[in-house]
Chains A and B, each alone.
Chain A
Amino acid sequence: MIRWLNDVFVQPLAVLMPGDSKSSPDVATNEPVGYKKVEATVPPSENALDRPTQVLATSFSSIPVIWRSELAQEYRGLGEALGQMTQLDEGDAWKIEPTVYGSACYVAAGLMLSAYPVPQVFNHGSQSVVFNWSHGTSNLYLTISADKGSVLISSPEKIQRRVEFSLTDLVHPGAVLAAIQPSNFEQSAPLRLTATVPEPSEIIG
C-alpha cells in the first residue's frame, strides 16, 4: 500500500513542485524519470490557474503523513487490545501476563517505527503473544514471550524458516523480520530499513 502511494501519487505530484522537495524526501533521493521535462513545462508562477495544482499537490503530498497517522492509530488499537488481554480473568484463554504485555508493546513499537502493517494477534496461553501476517497462503509469525522472540515463516507445504531471538536482539523488529523473510512477503515490507540486524540463531526443521 505504501509503495503504491509513493509510486503513483506522491512522486508525480512532488515532481510538479520541484522547489518543494522537503515535502517528500523519498522523491528527492530517487529522482523519478521525467523530472526535468515536467519542470520545464510547468514553470513556477503566481498565476491563479496554478492554485488548484498547488492545492492538489499539497493535499497529496500529505498522504504519507496520513498513512503514518493511520498506522499509529491502528497500532494504538493493537496496544489497547494487548492491554485488555492483561486485564482478563484468571483462566480466560486470552489472558496474558503483564511481562508478556510489556515485551509485546516493546516489539509493536519497533514494528510501527519500521512502518510494518499491523499484525493479527493471538496467544497460546498467558506466557506468549503471537503477531501474525498472512500473505496469500504463506504466514509470518512473531511469537513473543517475556524475554524471547521466535520468528516463523511457513507455506502450506513446509516450515520455511524459524529463527530465535532474545528480546534484547529485537531492538529493531522490523529490520529483523525484513532480514529473514523470503521474497513472497515483499509486499508487506516496510518503507525503508536502516537498522543493523543482529546475527540470529536459526533452527532447522
Chain B
Amino acid sequence: MELASIPDDDNLFRFCTHPVSFKGKVFSTAKFLLIQPQPDGSFLASLVWERFVPTVGHVHCAGCRLARGMNQNKLNAGKYKAGNKSVYCGAYRVRAGAIRALPAEVSAVEFADVVHRTESGELAHTDLRIKLYPGPDSNIEGTKTQILDRLWNACCGPLRHICECDKEVIPHPSAALLNAPFGACSDTRSWLERWFSLIRYRVYDSLWRKILWRFSD
C-alpha cells in the first residue's frame, strides 16, 4: 500500500543487522547494500521512510522489530541457533534524490526509484527498485559494483544502536560499522519541522494501527 510519493529531499534509512551485513566480525558494505535480483530482471532492496520513523528513536525501534522478526522466522523454520541470532546494529541514511540520480551515474541503469510500500505490518517500509536497460548487459556484475559504489557514497551515518535484548552481546557488532563516505548524520530540520513530522507520524500511525486491527479480526 502506497500512502504517498516520496519527495527527493526526504530521507530514507537502511538497516544493518548482524550477521547479514557482515563477514564474520567485519562489516561488509556489499552485503549491507545487497540488492536482490527479481524475476522481472529488476533489483530490489528494503528501506524505511523517515516520514514514518520521524526520530532516531523511531528508526531504531523499527530496526529492533526487524531483527526480532528475523529471529522469529528462523525459530519458526527450526533454524534458530545462538550463533546465528540476528542483531540490529544501526542504520545508514540516504536521500531519495540520490537514489533517483543513479541513472545519471550508471549508464546501464534505466531507472532507480524509492516507492513507499508497507510490508509485514511495517508502515515505514519502502522499496528501493532498480531496473537495468533491457538486453544483455555486457557485464552485469561490473554494473552491480558500480551501483553498490554509488549507493554507499550517497550514505551518511552510521546511527549505531544496541537493543535492550542484545545487551549481553559482547562485543556488540555495531562497533564494527564503518563511517559512511557522506559523513555523519545530522538532523537539519527546524524544531517546527520536527514537531510537525512527529504530529503527522502520530496521525498516520494511529490510522495504521486501526487498519491492522481491523484486518486482524
Which A residues are within 8 Å of any B CB, using their own CB?
Answer: 93-94, 122-125, 127-128, 130, 137, 139, 141, 143, 145, 148, 150, 152, 154, 156, 158-159, 162, 164, 203-205
Q: Does B206 make an interface contact (CB < 8 A)?
A: no
Q: How many angstroms from the CA of A152 to the CA of B29 in the assembled complex?
A: 16
Q: How many angstroms from the CA of A150 to the CA of B148 in the assembled complex?
A: 14
**Cβ contacts under 8 Å, A143 to chain B:** 139, 141-142, 144-145
Which 4 pairs, one residue from A and one from B, show the smallest C-beta to C-beta distance?
A150-B142, A205-B107, A128-B141, A122-B30
**Cβ contacts under 8 Å, B141 to chain A:** 124, 127-128, 143, 145, 148, 150
A93-B34, A154-B149 are known; give 17 further A-B pairs, CB within 8 A: A94-B23, A122-B28, A122-B31, A124-B34, A125-B37, A128-B141, A141-B145, A143-B142, A148-B139, A150-B141, A152-B149, A156-B181, A156-B182, A162-B142, A203-B107, A205-B105, A205-B106
Q: How many angstroms from the CA of A154 to the CA of B28 in the assembled complex?
A: 18
Are A159 and B142 in touch, CB under 8 angstroms? no
Q: How many angstroms from the CA of A49 to the CA of B141 in the assembled complex?
A: 62
**Cβ contacts under 8 Å, B144 to chain A:** 124, 128, 143
B window 98-149: CB within 8 A of A: 105-107, 138-139, 141-142, 144-146, 148-149
Q: How many angstroms from the CA of A156 to the CA of B150 in the assembled complex?
A: 8
Which B residues are within 8 Å of any A CB, using their own CB?
Answer: 20, 23, 28-31, 34, 37, 105-107, 138-139, 141-142, 144-146, 148-150, 153, 181-182
Given contacts A122-B23, A205-B107, contact A164 B142 (CB under 8 A): yes
**Cβ contacts under 8 Å, B142 to chain A:** 143, 148, 150, 152, 162, 164
- Which of B20, B37, B105 gathers the greatest number of chain A CB atoms within 10 Å? B105
Given contacts A148-B139, A150-B141, contact A141 B34 (CB under 8 A): no
Q: Which of B31, B138, B149, B182 contacts A139 (CB 8 A)?
A: B149
Chain A residue with minimal CB distance to B23? A94
Q: How many angstroms from the CA of A143 to the CA of B149 in the assembled complex?
A: 12
Q: How many angstroms from the CA of A4 to the CA of B135 in the assembled complex?
A: 49
Chain B residue with minimal CB distance to A148? B139
Q: How many angstroms from the CA of A130 to the CA of B31 in the assembled complex?
A: 12
Are B31 and A159 in touch, CB under 8 angstroms? no
Chain A residue with minimal CB distance to B106? A205
**Cβ contacts under 8 Å, B107 to chain A:** 203-205
Q: Tell me how far the C-beta of B18 lies from the nearest C-beta in chain A, rounded to whole angstroms.
A: 13
Q: How many angstroms from the CA of A159 to the CA of B145 in the assembled complex?
A: 11
Q: How many angstroms from the CA of A176 to the CA of B153 in the assembled complex?
A: 25
**Cβ contacts under 8 Å, B182 to chain A:** 156
Are B153 and A162 in touch, CB under 8 angstroms? no
**Cβ contacts under 8 Å, B105 to chain A:** 158-159, 205
Are B149 and A137 in touch, CB under 8 angstroms? no
Given contacts A122-B23, A124-B144, A159-B149, contact A130 B30 (CB under 8 A): yes
Are B145 and A130 in touch, CB under 8 angstroms? yes
Are A141 and B30 in touch, CB under 8 angstroms? no
Between A and B, 26 residue pairs with Cβ closer than 8 Å are A93-B34, A94-B23, A124-B30, A124-B148, A128-B141, A128-B144, A143-B139, A143-B141, A145-B139, A148-B141, A148-B142, A150-B145, A152-B145, A154-B146, A154-B150, A154-B153, A156-B153, A156-B181, A156-B182, A158-B105, A159-B105, A159-B149, A162-B142, A164-B138, A205-B105, A205-B107
Are B145 and A124 in touch, CB under 8 angstroms? yes
Q: How many angstroms from the CA of A124 to the CA of B139 in the assembled complex?
A: 13
**Cβ contacts under 8 Å, B30 to chain A:** 122-124, 130
**Cβ contacts under 8 Å, B153 to chain A:** 154, 156
